[in-house]
Structure 1
Amino acid sequence: MALRNAARESRRSGSELLVESLIGHGIDTIFGVPGDTGVAFYDVLARHTDEIRHVLARDERHCGYMADGFARTSRRLAVCEASSGAGAVYLASGLGESYASSIPALAITTDIHRASRGSGAITEIDQVALFGAVTKWQRVAQRAEEIPGLVAEAVGAALGGRPAPVVLICPEDVLDEHADVQASTGTSTSPATRRAASAEGVAEAVGVLAAAERPAILAGGGVHASGAWRSLRRLAEHAAIPVATTIHGKSAFPEDHPLSLGVNGGNGSRGYSNAHLAAADAVLIVGSRSNSTDTDGFVAPKRSGAKIIQIDIDEARAGRNFPASVGLVGDAETVLDQLREALSPAQADVREKRQHAIAEARRGWTAANSSPLPPVGIGTLQPRDVVYALHGVLGTRSWVCADPGTPTPNLSAFWEADGAAWRVVIPRGHGPMGYSISAAIGISIAHPGQRVLCLTTEGSLAMGIGDWETAARLRLPITYVVLDNSSFSWIKMLQHLYLEKRYFQVDPGPIDPVLLARGMGIEAARATDLHHLELLVKQSANAEGPTVVHVLVPEHKDSPPPVSPWQAALTNSSAGRPVY
């Protein structure tokens, strides 16, 4: 009898194997919402709270956003979970941004009993098909003994090659089943490997850069994913190559550096970056999709004329939008170091000339954007001035995340970032409204005790407000600033510029962020002017938990943000609607 009991104790349930394998891979945080098919999994999680923390969200979609913020800023694999049916459907929509932005996440979903398949069970859905468009790997555990190996395979798939979400689907009866196998172990930091580019490709790229008179670098999110900040800076300084970033690449290079051009492209550029890349004769693109938005409609840089070099971990993406480019397939940090070691240093006169040109452009832009903007009504503040005020209080070392709409172009252009981490997080994969409210929670949990600034809008708040309660319950140090123009202002601007001001369904009713926040136990106030805003943000920096600051701002049609296609349309009525 004793031997039989010992044998039974050595056999682990599928839920135990799943939790122990996650812990064995260094996973210490999981974002989720409980459901019927996951109760056995939760029962085991409850016994391991000293090794793995479960963060209870209010919506499965937001679990994906939390995991995204956690992974982006920590370069660690994030884990999120949901149950079958609606839970899985909601989670899938929360993974789209991560998939488009190459963010590694392991989604774990539970599913109906295998014997119930095809019976029309209440939460039955083909989860493999459901997650097929937003994950790079989908597997169903058919037996408990498969779970440790599938966890190891999932982690490897999420972190290997182009990072992306993966999903492991566990039927509830498989989680109840027992097996005599051990949990798997491994690591969960990114990148999983450091691949070097071919020597031939590096030699060709070095030849292009050495011969260029007007070179430039366009740095994307791949610099962050690789942790290649130091390597990017060393190459730029060694060869005196000016550096622009995409929105995803913002904070990959210090924006007060003499070689910094700031954000490039059609959304949030300072203008002189686009001009520099449009005139460049050689451009090194590092870890970026380099799509239409990143390149201002493929004119900065141009598809023809400039010689393009593209570093990407994914061979299919190296040169996809610039077919004649030199593709360097490999890890960004490794390949940047390869280029620097092979390139001769820039001559002093070349360095001085390039830095002087940037300094002149920056001085002109700064002068133009330091002048007071036209008044917009009592108690309504200009978004540019709001960003300046927030930066003045919180500084470049803050963690910042932002939603689409008003925050994106203003933060991109007017918030000056350092170049030591993915400190400015703006979702440009799909641009989901409400993302930052939950992503800020993931960032805060990844960096305990450090203040996070979340710049959101009243429109995004309507889609993501539930997790204000999560931030309050966990007492997270997050400052939520809600920019409120009481409209779907981005869409209204498109109707204003390109549809002869025919506004339709872009003016929903008002939302009171202060009242809603206080209802969840969060300190909140509306800023009446810039000085009041600064005071409220200073107070928030010393608060124990989250705070909310409500700021009224004008609509885009009344105060156009730095979006270059819109600026072109305002000066040239024949300019067409931008094609993304």
Structure 2
Amino acid sequence: MQVAELIAEYIVSEGVTLAAGMSGQQIGPFLDQIAARSEIELMYARQERVAFDICDGFARATGKPAVAFTDSGPAAANLMCGLVNSWGDSIPVLFIAGHNNATEIASRQTKEIPFVEMFSPVSKWATIISHPSQTLGILRRAFMQMYTGRQGPVVIGMPFDVAKMDVEVSSWIPVTSQKRIRSGGDPEAIKTAIKMIKSAKNPYVYVGAGILFSEATDELVKLSELLNLPVATTLNGKSAFPEDHPLSLGIGGFARASYSSLPATKVATTSDLIVTIGCGFKRHATQVRPSEDIPHIQIDIDPKEINREQMADLGILGDSKIILEQLIS
């Protein structure tokens, strides 16, 4: 089979049911292949950014992968604003862009752009399939990157000539067919966190979209009910904790956001312990920061987030679902 056909077959095996974008010559071989597959709903947009937003919204709402596609050069660059949005909010979307022939890369033909250099800073991974033998490995790594650790978009450039080359592949195991890879927190840190939470008289739990990505709502509710912990969410974390629950504070902040609910603000500003889980600490969520005298337990799957805004008294690195299970047990 040809490389474009392999890519189409592979994304179907990973559960992709939606692709959105704009057509063009360089992306043509791939587009012909996905258009021929009934498993994928194909949507055309009038602007590349809109196509990516379609995929972003689909991924947010369903938790399932979507594929955005564009032609090469300026067409791919037009999609950048949508990609930045997904990157900032950790949304897993696969972007496949047409590219110049592999033998002509760096010759600046047909308005070529520095593809990897442009997209690497705003994606979990950006690469180009420069030879057919790389195709399966790159696709596997792409889905691993999107769904392992902190989620986010991945970018793949597909040269026009490579897309039409033959590739020999017998079979593969889809990443999404396997049990999700998760990691728990340091056992000693878990013990310390339990002691800190139990000794607090007015704890405040502030959770973000990391709870949603980890599918940890049930564990969060169980811990909250077990220890009578009031819970507020970030704007992106809405629905991570049921808003009709007696312990729900609605949208909160660290310690006050520009849109915090009154109950969340009151609890946060009078708390003697703050526990944050999977939060990004965006500027509008930190209009009034908590006093550094208030102990802070920070739980996050991304090591770059721990102690990023201010030093936490206790940082726990790992998957929110596993860490909450550890705290409950």
Task: Name the TM-score, length of structure 2 as normaliser.
Answer: 0.93
- The one of 197, 218, 232 equivalent to 1:230 is 218
Amino acid paired to 1:287: G
One-letter amino acid of the counterpart of residue 208, structure 1: M
Structure 2 equivalent of residue 42 of structure 1:
31
Secondary structure of 2:302 counterpart: coil
Secondary structure in structure 1 of the residue aligned to 2:50: helix
- Letter of the 1:198 counterpart: D
Aligned to 2:11: 22
**Cα contact 1:222–1:288 (8 A) shared by 2:** yes
Q: Which residue of 1 aligns with 2:274?
A: 283
- Match of 2:310, SS state, is coil
Amino acid at match of 1:269: S
User: CA separation in 2, counterparts of 1:325 and 1:155?
Assistant: 34
2:60: which partner in 1?
Answer: 72
Corresponding letter in the other structure for 2:288: G
SS at match of 1:284: strand
Q: Distance in 1 between matches of 2:177 and 2:66?
A: 10
2-structure distance, mates of 1:143, 1:105? 23
Is residue 337 of structure 1 aligned with residue 325 of structure 2? yes
In 1, the alpha carbon distance for the partners of 2:288 and 2:248 equals 21
Q: Which residue of 2 aligns with 1:126?
A: 114
Contact 1:14 1:145 (8 Å CA) reproduced: no
Q: Which amino acid aligns with 2:135?
A: I
Matches within 5 A, 1:164-175: 164-175=152-163
Task: Say whether the 8 Å CA contact 2:302–2:317 is kept in structure 1.
Answer: yes
**Contact 2:204 / 2:230 at 8 angstroms: preserved in 1?**
yes
Q: Following the alignment from structure 2 to structure 1, what is the Cα–Cα distance between the partners of residues 296 and 117?
A: 37
Contact between 2:232 and 2:249, CA under 8 Å: does it hold in 1?
A: yes
Matches of 2:276 and 2:93, distance apart in 1? 25
The answer to whether the aligner puts 1:273 opposite 2:274 as a matched pair is: no
Aligned-pair CA distance for 1:21 = 1.3
Distance 1:244 1:337 in 2: 19
Give the Cα separation in 2 of the matches to 1:135 and 1:45.
Answer: 23
2:239 to 232, 251, 254: 251
Deviations 1:316-359 (A, max 9, x none): 21232231331111111121121122xxxxxxxxxxxxxxxxxx
For residue 74 of structure 2, the aligned residue among 86, 91, 96 is 86
Write the distance in 1 (CA, Å) between the matches of 2:313 and 2:181.
25
Residue among 255, 280, 297 paired with 2:288 = 297
Residue 276 of structure 1 aligns to which amino acid in structure 2? V
Once the 2 structures are TM-superposed, how far is the Cα of residue 94 of structure 1 from its aligned partner? Answer: 1.0
Deviations 1:355-374 (A, max 9, x none): xxxxxxxxxxxxxxxxxxxx
Q: Report the Cα distance in structure 1 between the residues aligned to 2:174 and 2:129, rounded to whole angstroms.
A: 19
Distance 2:156 2:280 in 1: 27
Please say if residues 245 and 264 of structure 1, whose CA atoms lie closer than 8 Å, have aligned partners that are also in contact. Answer: yes
SS at match of 1:328: strand
Cα 1:189/1:244, change in 2 over 3 Å = farther
Q: 1:52 aligns with which of 40, 46, 50?
A: 40
* 1:181 maps to amino acid: V
Aligned partner of 1:143 in structure 2 is 131
Query: Structure 1: where are the runs of 5+ without partners?
Result: 1-11, 342-580
Q: Distance in 2 between matches of 1:313 and 1:320?
A: 13
Aligned residues: 326
Given the superposition, is the C-alpha separation of residues 47 and 35 from structure 1 closer, same or farther in structure 2, using an over 3 Å criterion?
same
From the superposition, tell whether residues 303 and 132 of structure 1 become closer, same or farther in structure 2 (CA, over 3 Å): farther
- Work out the CA distance in 2 between the residues paired with 1:202 and 1:191: 24
Tell me if structure 2 keeps the 8 A contact 1:37–1:110: yes
Residue by residue over 1:476-521, the C-alpha shift from the partner in whole angstroms, topping out at 9 and shown as x without a partner, is: xxxxxxxxxxxxxxxxxxxxxxxxxxxxxxxxxxxxxxxxxxxxxx
- The whole-number CA distance in structure 2 between the counterparts of 1:113 and 1:290 is 42
Give SS of 1:293's match: helix
Which runs of structure 2 are paired with 1:302-317 in the superposition (5 Å)? 302-317=290-305
Matched, 1:207 2:198: no
| Aligned Cα root-mean-square deviation (Å) | 1.8
Contact 2:275 2:297 in 1 (8 A): yes
Amino acid at match of 1:146: Q
CA distance in 2, matches of 1:143, 1:93: 29
Equivalent position to 2:250, from 242, 250, 262: 262
CA distance in structure 2 between the partners assigned to 1:191 and 1:286 by the alignment:
23
TM-score scaled to structure 1, two decimals? 0.54
Given the superposition, is the C-alpha separation of residues 205 and 166 from structure 1 closer, same or farther in structure 2, using an over 3 Å criterion? Answer: same
AA aligned to 1:237 is: E
C-alpha distance in 2 between matches for 1:306 and 1:23: 49
Q: 1:246 to 1:223 in 2, by over 3 A?
A: same
2:186 equivalent to 1:198: yes
Could you report, residue by residue, the CA deviation over 1:147-172 in whole angstroms, capped at 9, with x for unpaired residues?
11110111111111111111111100
Gaps of at least 5 residues in structure 2 are none
